[in-house]
Amino acid sequence: MKSILMSGIAVLIAVSPIAVAKEQPAQLGPRPLYLIDDMQDSPLKEKLHSCSSGPFYRSDFSIGHRGAAMQFPEHTKESYLAAIAMGAGVLECDVTFTKDKQLVCRHSQSDLHTTTDVLAHPELAKKCSIPFTPADPKTGQDAKVECRTSDFTLAEFRTLKGKMDGANPKAKTVEEYMQGTPEWRTDLYSQTGTLMTHAESAALFKQYGVKATPELKSAKVPMPYGDFSQEKYAQKLIDELKQAGFSPKETFVQSFNLEDIKYWVKNEPLFAQQAVFLDNRVYEQKDFTATLDNMKTLSNQGVKIIAPPIYALLQLDKENNIVQSEYAKLAKQAKLDIIAWTLERSGPLAQGGGWYYQTVTDQIKKDGDMMRVLDVLAQDVGVIGVFSDWPSTVTYYANCMNI
């Protein structure tokens, strides 16, 4: 297999934190060519192969989803540095808060038991909202535990180490429970797992010259949390971006909560220009059907960018080709820009790709089909960016297609 610049698939980073040049080199490793080699013969495959010798550079089209979470513990410094090395021009910190109302990078306020080693700290584990209860084989009851960031102060949070997201629900012990990494991921790079505050992630992204796309996560605790209202929460995220030196054009603040977007539109209109509404209507509302009216309603409320899961943007035509969906067409008619999530999060695609590919399952037969999907998203749907758990794939495509 041909190599792509440097072969280290998981190089943390070789780029020094310098002032951003117009083109920052990227280290892509062998995975993009593995996927291209796995494609069926086609003009697209030939085009992608023609770019194999590079050079490759950072691209804003490539968004590091939780960093490089396919092989690095998500939302850790190591995961972010890996994504930067792979040419992600935009990095994500999912934002939640601690007991003392400090913003930290976690995908959920209640995922510490699966994404960190909190259960290996007995004194801290006692403070979890639901302390660990082992599985009961006799009744078939799974293990129970829930550890929230709001169970701990920031000082306590800093004592934890990130691990690959996963758990064994049939575990009888804490040690068994923590050993749940999916077989297609790896624990090879989870030996450090440095957790980060949102402010620290913003400072890191600014240091390396990448843009920031923090997502304001829904709180698991009732809001307001003491005197910490949803509005204060949304404002604190913006304030920390400003303190790190980010301009509105360097950020894509996100939320599934439309009220957060509307708050930013009213109170931080410049940052709202690139705010991203993460559209969960397509899977949370059973009877949801995209229409021009409900897309225009979003636009009229100040939404500029909409981001649904990949499958909402795709469908199969009468010839069984993967094409853009009606949802995608309507969003564009309403003059909404589109970002897609999430590539490289489904594991091997031989069984149809699972949830992220559910509208085109019949055409997803192998890993190489990921590149076909990426091509439709870029060329037909016209997305402005793609979240990926392994950004080198999107970086390769963006460079090859001059995006």
The pLDDT confidence band at residue 15, using thresholds 50, 70 and 90, is: very low
Same domain, 172 and 115: yes
Report if residue 9 sits inside a domain: no
Structure tokens at 359: 């509208």
Same domain, 46 and 89: yes
Same domain, 58 and 147: no
Give the percent of the chain with pLDDT over 70. 95
pLDDT at 22: 53
pLDDT at 70: 98
Same domain, 35 and 159: no
Report if residue 19 sits inside a domain: no
Residue 12 confidence (pLDDT) above 50: no
pLDDT (average), residues 239-247: 98
Quickly list DSSP for 106-175. -S-TT-HHHHBSGGG-HHHHTTSSEEEE--BTTTTBPPEEE--GGGS-HHHHTT-BB--S---TT-SSHH
180 and 167 Cβ atoms separated by less than 8 Å: yes
Query: What pTM does this model have?
Result: 0.94
Same domain, 321 and 271: yes
pLDDT at 23: 86
Structure tokens at 274: 């690139």
What is d(CA 353, CA 369) in angstroms, rounded to the nearest whole number? Answer: 9
In the chain, the number of structural domains is 2
- Residue carrying structure tokens 């957790």: 195
Same domain, 323 and 371: yes
CA dihedral 186, 189, 192, 194 (to 10 degrees): -90
Residue type, 218: S
The pLDDT confidence band at residue 399, using thresholds 50, 70 and 90, is: very high
Could you report the per-residue pLDDT of 204-237, keeping only the tens digit for each?
999 999 999 999 999 999 999 999 999 999 999 9
Residue 95 confidence (pLDDT) above 80: yes
Could you report the per-residue pLDDT of 152-162, keeping only the tens digit for each?
999 999 999 99
CA dihedral 352, 310, 368, 396 (to 10 degrees): -160
Report if residue 24 sits inside a domain: no
Same domain, 88 and 115: no
- Residue carrying structure tokens 């293990």: 143
| Mean pLDDT score across all residues of the chain | 94
Final residue of a structural domain among 178, 213, 236: 178
Q: Which residues contact 47 (CB under 8 A, 6 or more apart)?
A: 400, 401
What is d(CA 185, CA 79) in angstroms, rounded to the nearest whole number? Answer: 13
- The angle at the Cα of 93, spanning 367 to 115, to the nearest 5 degrees, equals 70
Could you report the per-residue pLDDT of 49-77, keeping only the tens digit for each?
999 999 999 999 999 999 999 999 999 99
Final residue of a structural domain among 151, 178, 205: 178
What is d(CA 212, CA 245) in angstroms, rounded to the nearest whole number? Answer: 11
pLDDT (average), residues 88-92: 98
Biggest alpha carbon distance in the chain? 62
pLDDT at 130: 98
- Residue carrying structure tokens 């999907």: 373
For 148, the domain range is 110-178
Residue type, 49: H
Could you report the per-residue pLDDT of 249-292, keeping only the tens digit for each?
999 999 999 999 999 999 999 999 999 999 999 999 999 999 99
